[in-house]
Structures are given as structure tokens and as C-alpha cells.
Chain A
């Protein structure tokens, strides 16, 4: 460095300019770091509102089906139902699925129904919408410990199965979700084998409560909720209610199911909602109802024991979890 006494006064930065420059630098660092920190937070914080772009589905009333809620239970908002989804093909972040599934193509669509049936056939979207639709408001309990109340629109799976006439040898039903890595690029991070597969025993599949849902809140399903057609089995953990179904196969043995393939010690074939059988890593005795801060006790068979308990008579539900 030069001896300061030899620096011509013209080269010395005036004090005012020096302070201004420092002020500018500091301000830039403040602004930059604040933007970076806030930006990082925003990247990982939940997404805002979801729009309901579905088209209306006409429903008929069915006074014979009892699916009443308890007095203190409220139906969840559309935003909760369509903004918080487990659909690993699109994202493992529940608040990201809606955005990632936005451009998923669900029309044209076809569901191949075959296996041990008299009349195998495929159903396209129009065929599915020809079934008489009903509205069913069910509790939905996720294996992760949260739950919702959802006003589904759809029809009993038994009606579709009746049309293909299962053979007397059929004992189980296997389901498969549509899979296309081009439409679901983030499925690479899912950590589970795809396509997603699920299964039911035939008597479970034929049960009046078991629904093929084509809509919710009176309109066609949002993509993130499993458009255009999904299974709804209200007394089982949510992952049994397989989304965007393309294949239904009648079988004479228990079909493989995705989560029990991924982790047989934690997820069984039946996966009935059961507060007395804990998940190895967390308790299933309570649940957090979305929209509420406290927790509520989880009900046996998710509150549908009266309708379905007879299906499991004599079984050890802690062994067949």
C-alpha cells in the first residue's frame, strides 16, 4: 500500500462516497439475505388455494344407506381435500401434489376389468358415468395419523363387478393405478415400486360401502384425488383406496399390494383402521382431524364396525393387520 501522504487528494475517496458505498453494500446484503431466507422458507411452505375445476355430476339419493357422522364431525373443505394429498406418483409432499398433477391427462381413459370373470370388458369414462351416482360422506383415515371427512360421489363397486360376472372360483380383486413416468417424472423419488397396486377380498369388494368414486363435492374428481376414477374403502387406511384405476382383475388368491411389498412389517394386506394395532413407528389410537388442532380417538373400522365387523369374524386382527 502506498504511503497515504503520497496519495494525491484526487484519488482519495471522499468520505461521503465511501459511507454511501458501505451503506449500499450493507443494504444489498440485508435485502439479498432476507430474500434468500424468506424464499427458501416459501419454497418449502404449503401452497395456497386450490381451484375446483370439475364438472357437475348428478346424484340420486339413497335413504337406505346409513353413513351418518357424529354430531361434532364436520365435512372438510374442498381446499383441505384437494390441497393435501398422498399421491406418490406426482410428489411425496402432500401440499405439492395438486400443482404437480395439474396437467395429468385423464380423458380418454379406460378401465380393463378381467381375470376370473364371465364377461371381461373395458369401461371408458362415459361407461363409468352411466352408473347411477350417489353421494357418500365418509371418514377418511390415513395410516399416517390424520383424517378427513369427504363427500364422495360415485357408485358401489359391486355394481361394476356384477356386470362382468365373477366366476365362482374368484376370491379376491386386484387393482392397478395408471403409471407413466413421462407424466409423473417425480415418481423417481417415490421410493416405492410402481405401478401402484392394491387388493381386496371379494366380499370386501362387494360390500355396499365400497365405492368407485368419480367425484367429490358434487363434481368430477380433481387429478390429485385420483381422477377420473378411484376406489374408496372407508373402513381401511387411506392407501387401500387406490387412485386413478386402470385395471381390475378377479383372482383366486391374495394379490400383492404396494405398501406391503415395500414394507411387509408395517403394512398388511387388510390394513383395516384399528386403534388397538399400532404402526411399528407410531400409535394408531388417535388421529388428527384436518381442520382441528386437538386429536380425536380413532374408531374401530373407522366408525363403520356395525357394517363391516362381520367380515372379519374369528380373525386375529393383530396378526392380519
Chain B
């Protein structure tokens, strides 16, 4: 069996490496090695990991089209679910430590602070995508409708990068990096769809 056909191996590899950061954070937390402000670190780490997995999800189609790595498609859902997993962890740290579980204050916070509103909205958009990630749901929705729904990922990623950019005090190096990568990935899709409209390959998804 060639590497590209070994789906089981890909699955194990992606599952393990996706979970590894969470495990390392837990181990560091257990040993009290999350620095002086563990809450800030966990909040930032889970937020950045959400963006990383959103970017990886959006990287699948260009890599398939450019290099023919079609085997990646079978792992895309896992990448998306990891984005949701870290996004949910990010939300939980906010609710637990920023809001002290005073859930009533969340609405006011969303209303008052645009970056919270953008982050919250982006997370809520991830919920239907996570819910419809099962094979049964793909069948139920039908391929094209499912694909259309899952294009929400573009808006989620844009919202995520914006959310990060706004909260930074003055050094925008990291949010800028994510913005550039995202712009390239979305730009590639725009170019691909223009080419397709003109009757040329490749096809965007």
C-alpha cells in the first residue's frame, strides 16, 4: 500500500497531532508550567489553535488541486472538527475565567465589545458545520447543499483573524501573518473560480 492510499495511517497521524497541543497544555497545566498567567496563555493558545486548524482546513483544496494530494480530502473533516474543538475550548476559558460563569453578562459583553461579538459570531457559525459533519448529515443534505453550507468556513476564518487583530494592543505581527495566509488561500479560490468560469480548470470547492 502506498502512502497516499493508507487512509488509516493518515487518520491516526492527524488525530494524534491535532490532539497533541491540547495534551501538552494539560500536562503543562498539571505541572504548573503555564507561566505567570495561565489563563491568558490558555486563552491565547486555544484561540491561535482554532485559527491554525481553520487555515489547515482551507489548505486542503489548494493542495489537492496543485499537487494532486487527493488523500487529504478524507482528513479535512477531522481538521475542521479540531478547529471547532479548540474554538469551543477558547469559548470555555472565556466563560469560566473572563466571565466567571456569569452567563448573563455575556450578552452585555458581546454588545459592548466588537471583538467579542465577532469572535462569538464566528464560533456560532462553526456549530452548524460541526453538527453536519457526519456521513448521515451529508447524505441528508445532499452533496452540493452540504458543500454550500460548509463554505461558511471562509467567513468563520475571516472573523477569527479579525477577532485576533482587534484585541492585540500594538504588535500585530501574528494576526498579520494569519491575515496574509488567509488572503492567499481565499485569493487562490477567487482566481480558481474565475478560471473555471472561463471554462478552464481547476475547479474550486
Chain A: minimal CB distance from B25 (Å)? 8
A241 lies within 8 A of chain B by Cβ: no
Bits for B25-38, please: 1 = Cβ < 8 Å to A, else 0. Answer: 10010000111111
CA A103 to CA B103, docked complex, whole Å = 47
CA A18 to CA B59, docked complex, whole Å = 32
A288 lies within 8 A of chain B by Cβ: yes
Number of interface residues of B (CB under 8 A): 33
**Closest residue to A85 on the B side, CB-wise?**
B36
CA A293 to CA B9, docked complex, whole Å = 40
Q: Which of B64-72, B165-173, B183-191, B197-205 contacts A (4 or more CB under 8 A)?
A: B165-173
B24 lies within 8 A of chain A by Cβ: yes
One of A41, A44, A83 near B36 (C-beta < 8 A): A83
A12 lies within 8 A of chain B by Cβ: no
CA A95 to CA B34, docked complex, whole Å = 10
Verify A189–B171 contact, CB threshold 8 A.
yes
Verify A293–B39 contact, CB threshold 8 A.
yes
B78 lies within 8 A of chain A by Cβ: no
Verify A191–B20 contact, CB threshold 8 A.
no
B121 lies within 8 A of chain A by Cβ: no
**Closest residue to B14 on the A side, CB-wise?**
A33
Interface residues of A (CB under 8 A from B): 25-26, 29-30, 33-34, 37-38, 41, 44-48, 79-80, 83-84, 88, 92, 94-95, 144, 146, 189-192, 262-263, 281-283, 288, 290-291, 293-295
Verify A84–B17 contact, CB threshold 8 A.
no
* A294-B100, A295-B97 known; A41 vs B20 contact (CB < 8 Å): yes
Q: Would you mind naming 20 contact pairs between A and B with Cβ atoms under 8 Å apart?
A: A33-B13, A33-B17, A38-B20, A44-B48, A45-B28, A46-B33, A46-B35, A48-B33, A84-B37, A88-B171, A92-B170, A94-B36, A95-B35, A146-B37, A189-B173, A190-B170, A191-B169, A283-B109, A293-B39, A295-B97
Verify A84–B36 contact, CB threshold 8 A.
yes
CA A139 to CA B20, docked complex, whole Å = 38
B41 lies within 8 A of chain A by Cβ: yes
B21 lies within 8 A of chain A by Cβ: yes
B164 lies within 8 A of chain A by Cβ: no
Across-interface contacts of A80 in B (CB, < 8 A):
36
Beyond A33-B17, A41-B20, A41-B24, 16 additional contacts (C-beta under 8 Å) are A33-B16, A37-B20, A37-B21, A44-B45, A45-B33, A45-B34, A45-B41, A45-B45, A84-B37, A88-B170, A92-B170, A190-B170, A191-B170, A290-B36, A290-B37, A293-B97
Chain B: minimal CB distance from A90 (Å)? 12
Verify A37–B170 contact, CB threshold 8 A.
no
* A30-B13, A37-B21 known; A295 vs B170 contact (CB < 8 Å): no
B139 lies within 8 A of chain A by Cβ: no
Across-interface contacts of A295 in B (CB, < 8 A):
97, 100
* A84-B35, A282-B113, A290-B36 known; A37 vs B97 contact (CB < 8 Å): no
Across-interface contacts of A189 in B (CB, < 8 A):
171, 173
Across-interface contacts of A95 in B (CB, < 8 A):
35-36, 41
Verify B167–A34 contact, CB threshold 8 A.
no
**Closest residue to B113 on the A side, CB-wise?**
A281
Across-interface contacts of A25 in B (CB, < 8 A):
3
CA A191 to CA B13, docked complex, whole Å = 39
Verify B41–A146 contact, CB threshold 8 A.
no
B86 lies within 8 A of chain A by Cβ: no
Verify A29–B13 contact, CB threshold 8 A.
yes
B115 lies within 8 A of chain A by Cβ: yes
Across-interface contacts of B37 in A (CB, < 8 A):
84, 94, 146, 288, 290
Across-interface contacts of B36 in A (CB, < 8 A):
46, 79-80, 83-84, 94-95, 290-291
Across-interface contacts of A144 in B (CB, < 8 A):
169
One of A34, A88, A282, A288 near B20 (C-beta < 8 A): A34
Across-interface contacts of B20 in A (CB, < 8 A):
34, 37-38, 41
**Closest residue to B170 on the A side, CB-wise?**
A191
CA A46 to CA B39, docked complex, whole Å = 12
CA A263 to CA B9, docked complex, whole Å = 51
Chain B: minimal CB distance from A281 (Å)? 6
Across-interface contacts of A47 in B (CB, < 8 A):
35
**Closest residue to A192 on the B side, CB-wise?**
B170
Verify B39–A34 contact, CB threshold 8 A.
no
Among all A-B residue pairs, the 5 with the closest Cβ atoms: A46-B35, A191-B170, A84-B36, A92-B171, A80-B36
